[in-house]
Structure 1
Amino acid sequence: MSAQSSAMARQPASEVLVIGAGVAGLATALAAAPRAVRVLDAGAPGGDGASIWAQGGIAAAVGTGDAPAQHAADTLAAGQWRNDPVAVRHLTERAPDVIDWLERLGVRFDRDGDGALLLGREAAHGRMRIVHARGDATGAEVMRALTRAAVRCAHIAVAPQCRAFALARADDGRVVGAWAWNGHAVELWPARAVVLATGGYAALYRHTTNPAGNDGGGIALALAAGAAVADLEFVQFHPTALALPEASGQLPLLTEALRGAGAVLIDGSGQRFMPAEHPLAELAPRDVVARAVAARTLAGHAAFLDARAAVGAAFPEHFPTVFAACMRAGIDPRTQPVPITPAAHYCMGGVRVDADARSSLDGLYAVGEAACTGVHGANRLASNSLLEGLVFGRALGQHLAAALPAAAAGAALPCPRTYAPLDAATRAALADVLWTYAGLVRDEAGLAHAATRIAAWRATREPGASAADLLDLAAALIAAMRARRECVGAHWRRDVRAAA
């Protein structure tokens, strides 16, 4: 049903409207007290976003001999020094306090027999600094605590099953709310500040570790309103998703913590291949490991994650989420190597924001994976994703609590979009095109073909329909990949020479 054929309702105005109910959105909402906050959740409360699937943990320099400066150095190196150093310092210096804050909210982090935080190591980290909860269920545990805290806060109201599809603008250009589809009708949600916390766009790919809703919808509506975006070409592919025959869409993730615990990557003959690829072997940056795995699978050879010696019988206790996923697929990781494939995992690009999370449009902010703060550079360091959403979400909430913008001069203009989701057939075809031509390794010929296919789909869309927004985002993604003629971090082109 379209917005044009539905009755439009106006919700009461709020001070802050947060679009997205993952860690970044809820951290913003909680920290914005006592401001009246409304949170639009496109799915069921606390259960449908990408945050709940996060296995790896949260990076923080809380161990003996570690320091935020060392965490920052690892973040910059993984990002190929394309990061914003100020944003990186902000992230790493506030990480220990975020761990304390989460514990005060009731997050139950894993601890050793002496009660100290149990720290793990993941790829490209020089220290043991990854804090986990329930082994490989960190995202779920953090979301449990944040959701419980939000429900108990009188200043927060959550609207489930409510998908924003257009930003509301006043006649002076300011963003003054959002138009959303609640499953029955279109509603205007007015606010003095609008925060996009909608996640990234990795679910646009055929093989992904993300739920279907992580399709870049928030970035697309910001783009449609004229907001600046940045670094869309930097899409990170996780090297170890569970390879399932003929599967597409979301694949089970095999957390990087497994390699941090000593699991190795082997080929069909049982031989390790990462020591020949990088001095850190299985703990090399994700882009290096992912390309090594892809090179073997594209050549028709199998690749496996072998945790038999490193984890073995302790799998159900230490990695319960991965163990359950493998067993559902008929694989016992205690006694069998697990088949793997790279999958689209995380997007470093998004809505361009400044140090206060402000976009290029007055009244519009963005945090978490929907935002491009510059903190990740060309390649995100493992376990900095939950951390980014928490650190920058809290900082934005505190900023809005202290300095909420004045109300716009005018009321919201009429809704600029017709609600009409992208049809399933086009969505599936787009996923195939992006996977084939804009995936882990790209070239100009493939990207040009993708651009032509996407342009043809865009030409058939009804003008003003929200279905066009995802296609516009895909077109912007392809354009960014074509414009960057270099190999750096997660952006790898076979038709240009790699930097030394």
Structure 2
Amino acid sequence: MIDYDFIIVGSGAGGLSAALHASEHGNVAIITKRGTLDSNSNWAQGGIACVTSEEDSIEQHVSDTLIAGAGLCNEAAVRTIVTEGPDRIAELVKWGVDFDQREASDGHLEFDLTREGGHSQRRVLHAADATGRELTEKLLAAVRERPNITIYENHFAIDLITTAKLGFVTEDRVLGLYVLNESTHEVETFRSDRIVLSTGGCGRVYLYTTNPRVATGDGVAMAWRAGASIANMEFIQFHPTCLYHPQKRSFLITEAMRGEGARLIDNKGNEFMHKYDPRGSLAPRDIVARAIDSEIKRTGGPCVYLDISHRPAEFILSHFPNIYKACLEVDIDITKQSIPVVPAAHYQCGGVVTDVNGATRIRGLCAVGEVGCTGLHGANRLASNSLLECLVISHRAVDHMLRKMPIGKEAEQTYTLPPWQSGEAVDNDELVVIYHNWDEIRRLMWDYVSILRTTKRLQRAAARLRNLKREVQEFYWNFRITSELLELRNLVETASLIVECAIRRHESRGLHFTLDYPEKDLVREPADTVVRRY
């Protein structure tokens, strides 16, 4: 049994910042199923939305967030996260994060802020078009300097261990987790009273996504199996502009490009967004994604186009160097040509239900970042609010756990966790079945549960997912576990939660648009779609 004061599952921005804060109070383990930099955070291009300009205000940022959230945001959570953002930005600068700056009119340097869809002001801090990489690399460098933080790469968290699972008649609290060491192929038992899930989202549930390979809904599935509540999983954000090219299927074209004047056009070069929203190409993502989907179906073409070639080449190269390089690799010169784009699954606005401290209904278990549902995003996330949430909630989560579960209590030493039991499981010699099921889940989710939905499509998805869950469960109990099997198990669980939440919402709101209920339900107060295990 491997014992730590804090265990962080995931190595994105939320996990790394939580580890840094926790290391000031005790020893910390970071468990990540691949390499440390394999995360959604590391892929983030746009930036961090935060009020740092005198021309901006907390009230404006709060208002923009509430409008984007389509009536489902928790205003208290929004206000807390937006208000505490500047302190977390100052902390990032202290840790060496190098945001782009410019010379102000009086000669001093200030943040070079950009604007994205749904924002009324320029408030997005960025490091060119690779903000996530700059952020995670600097956080990781700070983590490696802390001797009391241990990083376990290629360790796959299987399941949480709680008092309820062990049969104790007491308040349900987290005690540890089982982890597959992919180097030894053995399952190890980790013990802690304070566990932070920072596992990111579930974009790989869909056939087309901007997310990295690791985004398979692991944290949501683990928390659900442990008894945590899940909410608002029907609100999957489809990023409007993913590069349409067979060699770069998951390459995102940041929304900041539209903030700097890029225009969405059809195959004849005509702008079309003003037909759908007076804000044009800077409308919130749900509106833009549906508009693109509609244009593709109307014209019969495979994509639409994003054009920034009217801006000076020097400007494009300085602001979007990585996008320029990536597009040039597939023979698209964005200083002269438009970029073919399509929507793709990007971000889950729902997740494990938490308060504004990241605390779940299981004592000692917190969820931070995309895996959690604080109420910040409501029915549609405002661009670049995600990294802000990671930083604020990770800090608050550690403080909360220290208050509720002080380090050094004698009670912490009273639980001995049982080792993992493999029983009569044998090695699996039919990996093709796992790969087939993986592909089937992603295709049915894209066909039945994507940008436009119907009740019939959702019911078909639910029926097939029930069968797939039975098949996967049989595999799980009969064969020795592998990372491929664990990801499939989490994928089918998360997909089922998305479909269940979508079936329960009899209206169209934010990112959830159904042809059977095309209007908002204005009779009842909007409410979260909460799913609980009993």
Say yes or no: TM over 0.5: yes
Distance in 2 between residues matched to 1:312 and 1:264, nearest whole Å = 16
Paired AA for residue 89 in structure 2: I
Which residue in the other structure is 1:35 paired with? 26
Q: What residue identity is the alignment partner of 1:348?
A: C
**Residues 292-301 or 204-213, more deviating:** 292-301
CA distance in 2, matches of 1:76, 1:416: 48
- Is 1:146–2:146 an aligned residue pair? no
CA contact (8 A) 2:203 2:215 kept: yes
- Tell me, yes or no, if the aligned pair for 2:217 and 2:490 is still in contact at 8 Å: no
Query: How much has 1:414 moved relative to structure 2?
Result: 5.1
CA distance in 2, matches of 1:117, 1:57: 12
TM-fit CA distance, 1:227: 1.3
Match of 1:479 among 476, 500, 521: 500
Q: Calculate the aligned-residue CA RMSD, in Å.
A: 1.9
**Does the 8 Å contact 2:188/2:420 carry over to 1?**
no
1:6-155 equivalent positions in 2, closer than 5 A: 10-11=1-2, 13-32=3-22, 33-45=24-36, 47-113=37-103, 114-133=108-127, 135-155=128-148
Q: Secondary structure at the match of 2:26?
A: coil
Q: 1:433 aligns with which of 425, 441, 444?
A: 444
CA distance in structure 2 between the partners assigned to 1:447 and 1:412 by the alignment: 40
Residues 74 and 104 of structure 1: CA distance in aligned 2, closer, same or farther (over 3 Å): same
1:447-486 aligned within 5 A: 447-463=458-474, 465=477, 466=486, 467-486=488-507
* Structure 1 residue 154 displacement after superposition: 2.3
What is the CA–CA distance in structure 2 between the aligned matches of 1:366 and 1:140, rounded to whole Å? 22
**Correspondence 1:175 to 2:174:** yes
Offset from partner CA, 1:119-141 (integer Å, 9 cap, x none): 111001000101111x1010000
What is the aligned counterpart of 2:416 among 411, 419, 431? 411
For residue 72 of structure 1, report the CA deviation from its aligned partner.
Answer: 0.6
Preserved contact between residue 261 and residue 311 of structure 1 (Cα < 8 Å): no
The whole-number CA distance in structure 2 between the counterparts of 1:498 and 1:22 is 37
Deviates more, 1:137-146 or 1:154-163: 154-163
Determine if contact 1:199/1:216 at 8 Å carries over to the other structure. yes
TM-superposed CA distance for 1:459, in Å, is: 2.1
Conserved 8 A contact 1:223-1:473:
no
Cα gap change, 1:311 to 1:72, in 2 (>3 Å):
farther
The residue that corresponds to 1:198 in the other structure is 199
Determine helix, strand or coil for the equivalent of 1:167.
strand
Change (3 A) 1:311 1:125: farther
> How far, CA to CA, are the matches of 2:80 and 2:133 in structure 1?
25
Q: What per-residue deviation string (whole Å, max 9, x for no partner) do you get for residues 230-263 of structure 1?
A: 1111100000000114x79x51100000000000
* Distance change >3 Å, CA 280–CA 311, structure 1 → 2: farther
What amino acid sits opposite 2:379 in the alignment?
A
Gaps (5+ residues) in structure 2? 478-485, 523-534
Shift of 1:182: 1.4
Contact map agreement 2:159 2:179 (CA 8 A) in 1 = yes
Amino acid at match of 1:138: T
> Residues 395-430 of structure 1: CA distance to partner in whole angstroms, max 9, x if unpaired?
112333455355455322454888999922211111
Q: Contact 1:232–1:348 (CA<8 Å) still a contact in 2? A: yes
Q: Point out the more displaced range, 351-360 or 271-280.
A: 351-360
Q: Secondary structure at 1:212's aligned position in 2?
A: coil
* 2:194 aligned counterpart, secondary structure: strand
Residue type at the aligned position of 1:116: E
Map of 1:229-244 to 2, 5 A cutoff?
Answer: 229-244=230-245
The equivalences for 1:133-282 within 5 A come to: 133=127, 135-170=128-163, 171=166, 172=168, 173-183=172-182, 184=184, 185-245=186-246, 251-282=250-281
Task: Give the TM-score of the pair, scaled to structure 1.
Answer: 0.93
1:190-234 deviations in Å (ceiling 9; x for gaps): 111111000011121111000011110111111112211111111
User: Is the contact between residue 27 and residue 397 of structure 1 (CA under 8 Å) also seen in structure 2?
Assistant: no
Distance, in Å, in 2 between the alignment partners of 1:330 and 1:451 is: 41
**What amino acid maps onto 2:417 in structure 1?**
A
Cα distance change, pair 462–395 in 1 and its aligned pair in 2 (3 A):
closer
Q: Is the 8 A contact 1:166 1:416 kept in 2?
A: no
Secondary structure at 1:394 match in 2: helix
Aligned partners of 1:200 and 1:347 also within 8 Å: yes
Partner amino acid for 1:132?
Answer: H
Deviates more, 1:315-324 or 1:227-236: 315-324
Give the percent of matched residue pairs that are identical in Structure 1 and Structure 2: 36
CA contact (8 A) 2:102 2:112 kept: yes
Q: CA deviation at 1:294?
A: 0.9
The ranges of structure 1 where at least 4 consecutive aligned residues each deviate by more than 6 angstroms after the TM superposition are 416-422
CA distance in 2, matches of 1:213, 1:95: 27
Contact 2:216 2:490 (C-alpha < 8 Å) held by counterparts: no
TM-score (norm: length of structure 2): 0.87
Q: Is 1:489 paired with 2:515? A: no
C-alpha distance in structure 2 between counterparts of 1:319 and 1:416, whole Å: 51
Q: Indicate the residue corresponding to 2:380 in structure 1.
A: 379
Q: Which amino acid aligns with 1:365?
A: C
User: Any idea what SS the aligned residue of 1:208 has?
Assistant: coil
Deviation at 1:362, TM superposition (A): 2.2
Distance of 2:192 and 2:324 partners within structure 1: 44
> Alpha-carbon deviations, 1:167-191, whole Å to 9, x = none?
1223334211111111121111111
* Structure 1 contact 24–390 (Cα < 8 Å) conserved: yes
Matches of 1:311 and 1:201, distance apart in 2: 37
Q: Contact 1:438/1:447 (CA < 8 Å) preserved in 2?
A: yes
Is residue 348–residue 380 contact of structure 1 (8 Å, CA) maintained in 2?
A: yes
**Quick one: distance in 2 between partners of 1:243 and 1:469?**
28
Query: In the alignment, does 2:371 pair up with 1:358?
Result: no
Equivalences for 1:275-424 in 2 at 5 Å?
275-299=274-298, 300-301=300-301, 302-310=303-311, 312-405=313-406, 406=409, 407=411, 409-413=414-418, 415=420, 423-424=434-435
Amino acid across the alignment from 1:41: T
